[in-house]
Structure 1
Amino acid sequence: MIQDEPAPALPPASPLRPLDRLYRVIALWKEQLTPVLKQHGLTLATFHVLAALRQAGPSHRLTTGQLAAGEKVTCSGMTGRADQLERKGLIARERDEHDRRIIHLRLTEPGLRLVDQVLTHHRLMEQQLMAGFDGDERQAFAGLLVKLEHLLERGGRA
């Protein structure tokens, strides 16, 4: 019989613990962005797909695998998002000209108009938020985020 042992004590959450603070900042940002997305029938996940396609160059198209890798989700998870967006007429699926096994997702005209509208609002919110920092603070913040991203990509090793 296995006896229940108490879980190891965790240090109390502290405003000085930067990753705890980062999680809270992300949650607050999502909380502010979600109502805007909801007005347009989007979720954060589907918005990210539209934004990635918008940034994919003039073709506005990527494969499901490319999108999944960029969003750090499975291909089946990305397929679910694509299904939602396709039903709304915001993206179209296209077979690759050279390999019919490959499916590209492409923004439609309504999808392009919608993502541009939402991105404009998103950028305005971001500018208003970042206006609370001076130029040096913005530069330092951006640099630290880049460094944190690189550390995480290497499994947390310096």
Structure 2
Amino acid sequence: MTESKGTGHDAVDAIAAQWYAVRPELDTAPMAVFGRIYRIGRAMEERMERAYAPFGISRGEFDVIATLRRSGEPYTLSPRQLSATLMLTTGGMTGRLDKLEKAGLLCRQPDPHDRRGLRVTLTEHGLDVVDAAVVAGLQVQREALAGLSDEESAALAGLLRKLAEGVTG
């Protein structure tokens, strides 16, 4: 069975039914939740990549410049702060910073308070790009939620928050 709109059945239901056919004693309720979360995540990842592509950035690169933007003026953080916020290794962060610096979206400078440290700062061009990209990304997310009422969207957000707290501690 493939995913279909309006029928009340989707590919996750088909997978659960297949498991029931071969292992009827299994409770597949968790699969119904996490299978859908996984599929939604993958679909949204692709949509967000397309939303950010016109700005010359990937979703991961957006995350870096958005973190700087959200930090407030002067839009400066250390690479360690960025890595911790984005849950990236220092190697992964370095690659993103290299690309973003080459594109003129951020700059790295010595930390005036730590001779061994660096500070990463959003440039004016980076500020313009992230401000436009966040609008494009929110539009994609808004479109994805269009099938839900405001109340349903709020309830879903609350349930996912509760689930995330249980999963991530």
TM-score, normalised relative to structure 1: 0.83
Match among 56, 59, 82 for residue 44 of structure 1:
59
Unaligned runs of 5+ in 2: 1-13, 18-28
Q: 1:95 to 1:152 in 2, by over 3 A?
A: farther
CA drift at 1:35:
1.9
Higher helix share: 2
The aligned counterpart of 2:24 is none
Q: Which SS does the other structure have where 1:100 is aligned?
A: strand
Matched residues in 2 for 1:91 and 1:14: separation? 47
CA drift at 1:63:
1.2
Between the aligned residues of both structures, percent identity stands at 34
- Which moves more between the two structures, 32-41 or 102-111? 32-41
The aligned counterpart of 2:103 is 88
CA drift at 1:49:
0.5
Q: Alignment RMSD, CA only?
A: 1.8
Confirm or deny that 1:60 pairs with 2:75.
yes
The aligned counterpart of 1:121 is 136
Confirm or deny that 1:101 pairs with 2:116.
yes
Unaligned runs of 5+ in 1: 1-11
Q: Aligned pairs, how many?
A: 143
The aligned counterpart of 1:14 is 16
Q: Which SS does the other structure have where 1:52 is aligned?
A: helix
- Which moves more between the two structures, 123-132 or 45-54? 123-132
Matched residues in 2 for 1:94 and 1:125: separation? 34
CA drift at 1:64:
0.9
The ranges of structure 1 where at least 4 consecutive aligned residues each deviate by more than 6 angstroms after the TM superposition are none
Q: Which SS does the other structure have where 2:121 is aligned?
A: strand
**Would you say the 8 A contact 1:37–1:118 is kept in 2?**
yes
**Would you say the 8 A contact 2:52–2:136 is kept in 1?**
no
